[in-house]
Each structure stands twice: as C-alpha cells, then as structure tokens.
Chain A
Amino acid sequence: MAGSRLFVRWRDGRIEVRLNEAGRVVAREAFGRVVAAERDPTHEWHAGLNSPIDPSEDTDSPLAALDRQREISTNAELAYMTLNEQFLNEGEAWAWLSTFQIALRSTAVANGLLSEEKLAACEPELMNFIRTIQQFLFGLAECL
C-alpha cells in the first residue's frame, strides 16, 4: 500500500519523497515557474501571485504586499533547492505544498479556469498538468 504513495512520513518526522524522474521534472517546472513569476512582472503567473488583500482599497498595504512577495519567494526557492532530496523536513514539506498550490492556482487563473465547466473543457495537456499537481498535493496533505 505504502509503495503507491508519493510521499511517506517516517516515524522520526521526516517525509520521504518517492517521485520518479518524470515526477521530479514536473515539480521542477512548477517550482521554477513560481520563482520566475515572482521576479518577473510580465510573467503570465505574476498577476495570480498578486491578488488583492483588501478589495475595498485601490492599493494594498505595501508592507503586507512585500511580506507576501518575500514569503512566496522564500518557499519557492526552498522547494526548488530541495528538488533532488530524498527526505524533507516539516518546513521543506510545507514549502513544497505551498509552492505546488500556488502553481496550481496560478495555472487556473492564467488560463481562466475559474469554474468547474471551464476546467472540464480545458486542453488535455493542461488538464494533465493540473491533475499531476493535484496528485502531489493529495500526497503531501496526507503527511502534514
């Protein structure tokens, strides 16, 4: 049973990553795109990373926006740096989950997949990427 799981928590608290090479390629692409989007304002995912905090205001508090940018970058860079690790600690696993989730939501926002109908009608390649990321998230959520 445990052999089919992508992430396994050991008794000592570490989380084992059981992704094969193809899985790590998808993870590398997702993490790399989040890092790039946070640094590049013209990136297609950039808008998805900067959604409003208080929609009643024209602009958000600069300190809150800066805080968000720093934390997203930190998580994405940590996830990217630990891509080839076999075991993750709690903080690294949280960084992986956060970055996968940001990649998933940014993909949905960038492609206008904001309803069940539009998601069901999207291209197979895009749907495959979304389902793969969701699978990773299910696995990580079971361990955290």
Chain B
Amino acid sequence: MLVFARARRRSGTSFQFTTLNGTTFLPSSDYGVGLSLTTATCDTRAMAPLSPRLSSTQGDVLTEDLVKTERPWNVIVWDDPVTPMSVVVVIFRKIFGYSQNKCTQLMLTVHHEGRAVVWSGQRERAESYCVKLQVAGLQSTIENVE
C-alpha cells in the first residue's frame, strides 16, 4: 500500500502523523523515527516506471519537433494581361538580385501558369518582398505553405 504521511503540529513541539487512509501515529521524536517510519512503509513499486529523467528527455524532443514543423511563407506573383514581360524580368532582378536566366524562368512561369512562387522563407521578409513587388507595380501576395 502506498502511504503518504501528513504532518500536523500538536500542542507543544511534537508532531502527529496521519496517513491518507486515516491511520495516525506519533513519532518517537520530532524529525527522527517518525520520518524513517514513513519511508519504510512506502511501497515504491508503482513509482518505478515513472523515471523523472525519462520524462524530461521526452519534453526536449517534443520542443525540437515544434521548431522543425514551422512552415515557410511564399511570395506569389500573379499574371496580368498588361504588364510587359521584360519589365517583370527587370523587377525580379532588381528586387531579388537573381540571375537573368532565373528571372526569365520565373516570368515565364507567371505567364504560363498564372502565378509563380518567387521567394520562400520567414514571414517578415516575405511581407517585405511582397510590398516591394507591389511598389514596383506587380500583383503579389504572400501565403503560408500547407
């Protein structure tokens, strides 16, 4: 039986111990035999699998998983029928510093598929790039990667 001792001060300086199942006993001296008696009556078999070190390790692993699952934000550029292709290439080169080939590929993706992901990463940077593209007159938005 698992026994927890609850100490209660009686009159004077001595303690009376009461277990959770109602049994009371007096220690022969304060903090001496009474405490060792309580320890001796504890059945610790049920506590054996609950190792504090193990649960602490599990917590660490869970925290690491949360960091890994943070999803990037995409900056999307949308097609429109009036913007000249060469202007889109110049704007991509100016804002992102990509090579001429990469800018041309992205522009063609926008043209053929209606949209293209031009950058992925942290939300604040995605928002900043999106604003720069809008300031340059392109239709752009950000979205969280599913």
Contact = CB atoms under 8 A, between A and B. Distances in A.
Interface of A: 51-56, 61, 64, 67-68, 71-72, 75, 94, 97-105, 107-108, 113-116, 118-119, 130, 134, 137-138, 140-142, 144
A97 B130 CA distance: 17
A141 B91 CA distance: 9
B135 A105 contact: no
B94 A119 contact: no
Contact of B144 (A56, A71, A99, A115): A56
B86 interface: yes
Could you say which interface size class chain B belongs to?
A: 20 to 34
B131 A97 contact: no
Nearest to A105: B137
Contacts of A115: 81
B84 interface: yes
B111 to A, nearest CB: 11
Nearest to A108: B82
A105 B77 CA distance: 14
Contacts of B136: 97-98, 101-102
Contact of A137 (B84, B127, B141): B84
B36 to A, nearest CB: 64
Given A53-B127, A56-B144, A119-B82, A137 B134 contact: no
27 contacts: A51-B134, A51-B139, A53-B130, A53-B142, A54-B142, A54-B143, A55-B141, A64-B130, A64-B131, A67-B128, A68-B131, A68-B135, A71-B131, A75-B135, A98-B135, A98-B137, A101-B136, A101-B138, A102-B137, A105-B138, A105-B139, A108-B81, A114-B81, A118-B81, A134-B82, A138-B84, A141-B90
B89 interface: yes
A29 B139 CA distance: 22
A144 B143 contact: no
A96 B61 CA distance: 54
Contacts of A53: 127, 130-131, 134, 141-142
B79 to A, nearest CB: 10
Contacts of A108: 80-82
B81 A138 contact: no
Contacts of A102: 135-137
B90 to A, nearest CB: 5
